[in-house]
Amino acid sequence: DSGVTQTPKHLITATGQRVTLRCSPRSGDLSVYWYQQSLDQGLQFLIQYYNGEERAKGNILERFSAQQFPDLHSELNLSSLELGDSALYFCASSVAEGGYEQYFGPGTRLTVT
Amino acid sequence: GENVEQHPSTLSVQEGDSAVIKCTYSDSASNYFPWYKQELGKRPQLIIDIRSNVGEKKDQRIAVTLNKTAKHFSLHITETQPEDSAVYFCAASGTGGGADGLTFGKGTHLIIQP
């Protein structure tokens, strides 16, 4: 157990819908990262927040957005869902901004039908 | 941006033998190189990492080597055991510290034959 929690574990929804994934970092960690894992794209970095501020963006679609709240939990919002958005979504956390030693949560499996 | 190539995609070794997985990266500014192990249906688990000011790091049966000049790094597992069977991912931070998040290789499926 890494100490990072994610909810829900599984999510099944229809195309065009909007969902919110939630992540709580390890106690003391200020950085949260979101990653998408799919068979064709592999593990891809989406976005990073540090202490409530966006720090870096990766291959995140405009339909996706995220935020980090004062209690440091983070939410990833996915809208106008397409079949291709079906994937495992992981969040990871680390102590500092620099990205060293990222610990992953158990992931949310999103299925878009 | 950073690009990480990982080889081989599948590696089968006899229990007790050594396994080596190799990665190359493109961004010379990268300075952090972690390795993750992922079992089926589970989270990626950080098993070892190395920073660019170090050439080699070892933790029990696992070691990582880094050649900054050639821009490649490798994972070495000695005395392999059945529980080492998993998918292993190498990664690199694109701007020397992770401000871009981690760029991952495609993964190596390590199979330990009894």
* For range A45-51, the mean pLDDT: 95
Mean pLDDT taken over chain B? 93
Q: Count CA atoms closer than 13 A to B83's CA, side-chain side.
A: 1
Q: CA of B70 to nearest chain A CA: how many angstroms apart?
A: 22
* For range A93-99, the mean pLDDT: 84
B74 within 8 A of B21, measured Cβ to Cβ? yes
Quick check: A75 contacting B, CB < 8 Å?
no
Minimal CA–CA distance to A75: which of A14, A17, A25, A37?
A: A25
pLDDT level of residue B94 (50, 70, 90 thresholds)? low
Q: CA of A16 to nearest chain B CA: how many angstroms apart?
A: 27
* For range A57-84, the mean pLDDT: 96
Asked if the model's pLDDT at residue A16 lies above 60, the reply is yes
pLDDT at A98: 78
